[in-house]
Structure 1
């Protein structure tokens, strides 16, 4: 049974402008308003509640060697990881609706505790900034893949001694643009990297097959889906829209192929503040309902 967890965090993002906060914290309720939760529950899912984050603080005077909202992110990750572990111990499959992609830290902590395998990171960016390749760290939502495999500050990449949360050899990234500044580094570091243009050229089914054939991903993985993998023509309601992304149909097909082998998933970075009519919330809801409805159905624990 899928267990839906709301994780309305915006802690990993930069403020859109001085004095404001990112709108991703509103995403779970915006998706609920579309009828997504009811649609999933009609297929046997259950609502597993919400894990509420601490208060967002931009803190422009923070030490530049630290992350924005670092303490709050760590605390939220611990509580969300505990919820995910509880869901798995009940025999259910967690579907975490965020929020921003700092949620990968919680998924990684839960993965280490339950020995659940690798990570498939679907995102329009590599999210691979880290202290080894830039002095401008600060927003974990642009650094989560690096943190997930241990390439970041130990205060976030090794919480409670659990890092690295995912082994690089058991990690795949799908969907960055060809001009991503960290593409070469990521390709050299993790097991599999598939830029968006390869999916557009060869199809989502081919990309999914490559993932499922990757050693150490065959036995299962956490599926992290950042909706900025979509082209802005279809999904402009994200903090960093970049051209060259997937269509809703391509993303849906990709998820349909991957989701059955995943032991859990998170969906992130949709920003309702950029969606005044609700049209993009409905688009995300349709992708989730169709692409992830068989989440975990073929996962062998």
Structure 2
């Protein structure tokens, strides 16, 4: 029997304002998924919330990252809860929030003293650092930060960086295909699969390759980072940086099913869905229903290796 919990991490500190005076609404996702009864539908009974600092547009002069000190402090709090869960063999489902919550999750895994992999599903690869960012937002740098690229204020919290080694990371779903942007990640050791590569190779081959890598590398497990903008904009338009195309829900489910069912699966986070962009709640409700259906078999102990 596998034990699951939900950790609410409603941080929007990694994003710039939607427009002057309007903070990002991603912090409302935990509340929105409570209303859709995600936990009940998935069969999860334990829910906690890690409160976040007030939103700010401040750019840290030392690191060049917006709200760097607040994000670092919040990451330590989130990491403590993730570490406690993982050490008790509880699988946390962390509801964000923006992608900067990946920092705290990865830090929590690393603080156990073990090595983990990361399967990062995202419509952007988020492998960049301040000099390449047009927003100074940590959300767009999250993958680079957890891999140790950037200022130590975020990449080396507690002298534990890198939190996840590049060779243990799969970046899956990018469809921002500008050559300079893509080169940042293709020059790294990360296993990179953009949307055209997924369509060419197929979801099953890529996820099977990832799970094989986890086993062969002798890792203690892996985390899934799920930015909902990996989904096709037609089925998930409630995001801050929409792009044409994306995964269908069927492709999304085919990707996640073997990952969640794996005995190596140690947790996941969900980010970027902004309920304030979903006036009639239809997209949030559909997402919640599909996520609950994916989680339910694992929560009920119907998983495999």
Output the TM-score relative to the length of structure 2: 0.90
> 1:3 matched to which residue of 2?
5
Q: Secondary structure in 1 aligned to 2:132? A: coil
Aligned length: 295
- Over aligned residue pairs, what C-alpha RMSD do you find? 2.2
> 2:20 matched to which residue of 1?
18
How far off its partner does 1:190 sit?
A: 2.7
Counterparts of 1:102-251 in structure 2, within 5 Å, are 102-114=100-112, 115-131=114-130, 134=132, 136=134, 138-177=136-175, 179-180=177-178, 181-214=180-213, 215-216=216-217, 219-251=220-252
Render the CA deviation track for 1:143-166: whole Å, top value 9, x for unaligned. Answer: 000001000110011111111100
2:97 equivalent to 1:99 = yes
- Preserved CA contact (<8 Å) 2:171 2:193: yes
Distance 1:106 1:217, change over 3 A: farther
2:88 equivalent to 1:85 = no
- Preserved CA contact (<8 Å) 2:128 2:184: no
Distance 1:270 1:123, change over 3 A: same
- Preserved CA contact (<8 Å) 1:9 1:24: yes
Output the TM-score relative to the length of structure 1: 0.91
- Preserved CA contact (<8 Å) 2:50 2:78: yes
Counterparts of 1:40-79 in structure 2, within 5 Å, are 40-41=42-43, 45-59=44-58, 63=61, 65-79=63-77
> 1:260 matched to which residue of 2?
261
Residue 35 of structure 1, aligned match among 19, 34, 37? 37
- Preserved CA contact (<8 Å) 1:14 1:139: yes
> 1:289 matched to which residue of 2?
292
- Preserved CA contact (<8 Å) 1:170 1:191: yes
User: What is the alpha-carbon distance in structure 1 between the residues aligned to residue 183 and residue 297 of structure 2?
Assistant: 33
Distance 1:251 1:71, change over 3 A: same
Distance 1:161 1:247, change over 3 A: same
In structure 2, stretches of 5+ residues that fail to align are none
Q: Secondary structure in 2 aligned to 1:250? A: helix
